[in-house]
Amino acid sequence: MAAPNFFSSASPKFKSVRVATNWEIIGGAPLSLSLSLSSLVARIDFELYLILEAAKDGIYLAEVDRILRPGGYWILSGPPINWKTHYKGWERTKEDLKEEQDNIEDVARSLCWNKVVEKGDLSIWQKPKNHLECANIKKKYKTPHICKSDNPDAAWYKQMEACVTPLPEVSNQGEIAGGALERWPQRAFAVPPRVKRGMIPGIDASKFEEDKKLWEKRVAYYKRTLPIADGRYRNVMDMNANLGGFAASLVKYPVWVMNVVPVNSDRDTLGAIYERGFIGTYQDWCEAFSTYPRTYDLLHADNLFSIYQDRCDITNILLEMDRILRPEGTAIIRDTVDVLTKVQAIAKRMRWESRILDHEDGPFNPEKVLVAVKTYWTADESEQH
């Protein structure tokens, strides 16, 4: 069996599209390459590696390199790792497996990765903290080339490239490209390196601190009405996450938050969300969200409908919210009175129970808060299609 050509120009079986969502994983679900910006650890299990091998296209490893943080790790489990022990069970020859692993090692070096350890059925590589030494390595390895894209963060309907994404410049070998991160949980509240470097238009350290205080105030207001702290909610989504302030204000509670950055937003904040230690994804809310029905206990939408009301029918967005919200789950929707009045009328037809509350600053603020609960009901036979 021939060793896979990791950097062929095209795959006959798979369309190479950049992934737009991430979990910072050490051990992930098989068959999942759901990763995105600023991950610290990525793991590819046996099943997924077989897909990569079948595709014969190392463009996937180049994408893993793009999404890993400087200094992050890539873990491979399964064939051909530990082939000397397992080659008979895999029904492969020693020669094939050795050639396959040698090829992987070569590709890893071409990406400027350093092999940290191989133990048992696991092998671990580390992405460099910066690219000062990578220039010398690329003199030997001509492929993959250094990417020429001016926006390596772009991941929504973006074709993948078999190239090495360049890291931000540093002044010395020990410096972490893009900036070092605080340890958790301080990381959730520290100013993200992207904000410090002025990479998000209109956001600096002082604006970040203002946003952090704003969401602490808003979540305190929500707590007066909703049982956020008592374990009723576990799976939470912020449908327009901005800097991740809502998620940060929930860190002390037993919840996790999926932070969604609409692709139509004025600024791309997903990288800063990951730098804060949270997970997130891009989404166009005129389209369905990639998850199964009844996923979330709590949905939070901050001025989301103002963004989309002129782009698509907000009824469709609410129907998608209904699909992914569990029965008796809650939606918090912040927007202007005019928008919330429309939303409430649609929510009533979906059999949601809702009420509109004043803004946390009082009744004279034009922005209001709609709190809705998806009721549990079943359709009569005559209503079913």
For residue 315, what are the domain limits? Answer: 186-383
* Segment 106-134 mean pLDDT: 93
Mean of all residue pLDDT scores within the chain: 86
The whole-number pLDDT of residue 39 equals 61
- Tell me: do 230 and 294 sit in the same domain: yes
- Tell me: do 157 and 194 sit in the same domain: no
The whole-number pLDDT of residue 45 equals 53
* Segment 337-364 mean pLDDT: 97
In-domain check, residue 22:
no
SS3 percent helix, strand, coil of the chain, rounded to 5, is 30, 20, 45
**pLDDT tens figures, 201-251:** 999 999 999 999 999 999 999 999 999 988 999 999 999 999 999 999 999
The count of residues in the chain is 385
In-domain check, residue 251:
yes
Beta strands in 227-366 (DSSP E): 235-238, 256-262, 279-283, 296-302, 325-336, 352-357
Tokens matching residue 144:
């993959």
Please tell me the distance from the alpha carbon of residue 92 to that of residue 90, in angstroms, as a whole number: 5
In-domain check, residue 24:
no
> Domain end: 129, 164, 199, which one?
164
Q: CB 327: neighbour CB atoms within 10 A?
A: 12
DSSP state of 10: -
High-pLDDT (> 70) share of the chain, %: 84
Strand partners, 259: 238, 280
- Tell me: do 269 and 377 sit in the same domain: yes
The whole-number pLDDT of residue 58 equals 66
The pLDDT confidence band at residue 77, using thresholds 50, 70 and 90, is confident
Three-state DSSP class for residue 261: strand
Tokens matching residue 343:
């939303």
Chain-centroid distance of CA 335 in Å reads 25
Q: Is the pLDDT of residue 4 over 90?
A: no
In-domain check, residue 32:
no
Q: What is the phi/psi pair of residue 17, to 5°? A: -120, 135
- Tell me: do 336 and 234 sit in the same domain: yes
**pLDDT tens figures, 80-106:** 999 999 999 999 999 999 988 988 888
- Tell me: do 239 and 196 sit in the same domain: yes
Position with higher pLDDT, 58 vs 282: 282
Q: Which sign does the torsion angle of CA 132, 134, 138, 140 carry?
A: positive
- CA angle 367–371–373, rounded 5-degree value: 160
- Tell me: do 97 and 199 sit in the same domain: no
- Tell me: do 108 and 193 sit in the same domain: no
* Segment 352-372 mean pLDDT: 97
In-domain check, residue 28:
no
Q: CB 252: neighbour CB atoms within 10 A?
A: 10
- Tell me: do 255 and 292 sit in the same domain: yes
Place of tokens 């893993």: 64
Q: CB 52: neighbour CB atoms within 10 A?
A: 22
The whole-number pLDDT of residue 28 equals 31
The answer to whether the beta carbons of residues 360 and 218 sit under 8 Å apart is yes
In-domain check, residue 319:
yes
Sequence-distant (≥ 6) Cβ neighbours of residue 207 within 8 angstroms: none
The answer to whether the beta carbons of residues 68 and 19 sit under 8 Å apart is no
- Tell me: do 98 and 213 sit in the same domain: no
- Tell me: do 249 and 288 sit in the same domain: yes
Reported as type and span, the H/E element at residue 115 is: strand 114-119
* Domain count within the chain: 2
- Tell me: do 197 and 341 sit in the same domain: yes
In-domain check, residue 3:
no
- Tell me: do 258 and 149 sit in the same domain: no
| CATH code, domain carrying 328 | 3.40.50.150
